Amino acid sequence: MTPEQELYQQYIRGEGKSPCTITAYMKDLSQFYNFVERYFEDGNIQLEQISPQMIRDWFLHLHKHQVSNRSLARKAAALQSFFSWLKLTNRISKNPMDKIKRPKFEKGLPHYFTEEEMLTLLNLPDQSSIFGVRNRAILELLYSSGLRISELADLELNDIDLKRALVRVKGKGNKERIVPIGKPAIEAIEAYLPVRDKLKQEYSSHKLFLTKSGKDFDHRQLFKILHHYFQIIARQKGYSPHTIRHSFATHLLSRGADLRALQEMLGHSNLETTAIYTHLTLDDIKKAYLKGHPRGKE
């Protein structure tokens, strides 16, 4: 990693970028650097010498190797962010990304569990095991509040207000929001708290959920635990902890929740991001119409 990349990494971490985004951006930058070193002159090109054409050639190279438009769009976002920072800190005089058209991609509708599948999923953890009790609380809280897996990993004990049925969440960009918790999630957390006392060690933090050794979870560890349950009920590949978040949003809208209220609960800065779930619920409405209306199939 170059000195500029290291400083940039510190910068985006300070901006509140998620660990997953930071990892992806740094990987994208390394790939771009490797391409420039391999295909241009002797590889000693300075930052000021990087041109729009070099970037276009990289995107063309990636496209030829069947990299998806979604991945290309993220790589373009990584370069845009990096070169914007370089210009902001006077390391370059021009941003070569200013003349690059960002790749477009169609957003596919997210996978989500049906209400019946969610009920099955929530009942999978073995309640005779302390880890099953913990995992049930994790699943219930994810579904009850639509949290991102990274947000759940960051929750501390004082972020949960069981009496008022609320959870304080620190989301992307360190933006804080308050989200309601349902009764089943409250009961699952209350059952888990005595288990947490058993998992807790002298070195344990104040994080709500702890590993079997009393340490903090990271999102990869949580993914591994949850993936075990997903495999039992998954109809197809592609399910992840985010599927529970999609299910939370879809089920709320299908039962008449307000779109802007849902936006606040999900922590979306843009209503358009939340609006993707209306396609899911409208599809359900259309199916119900075609099935139930006397002239729906004519």
Instruction: List, by residue number, the catalytic residues.
Output: 148, 172, 242, 245, 268, 277
CA 225 to chain centroid, in Å, comes to 17
CB atoms within 10 A of CB 20: 13
Q: Are 167 and 141 in contact (CB under 8 A)?
A: yes
Helices then strands (H, E): number in the chain? 12, 3
Calpha distance 91→34 (Å, rounded): 20
CB 233, CB 222: distance < 8 Å:
no
**CA-wise closest residue to 275 among 70, 102, 110:** 110
Which two three-digit tokens encode residue 202?
Answer: 């002298």
Closest CA relative to residue 193, chosen from 141, 243, 231, 146:
141
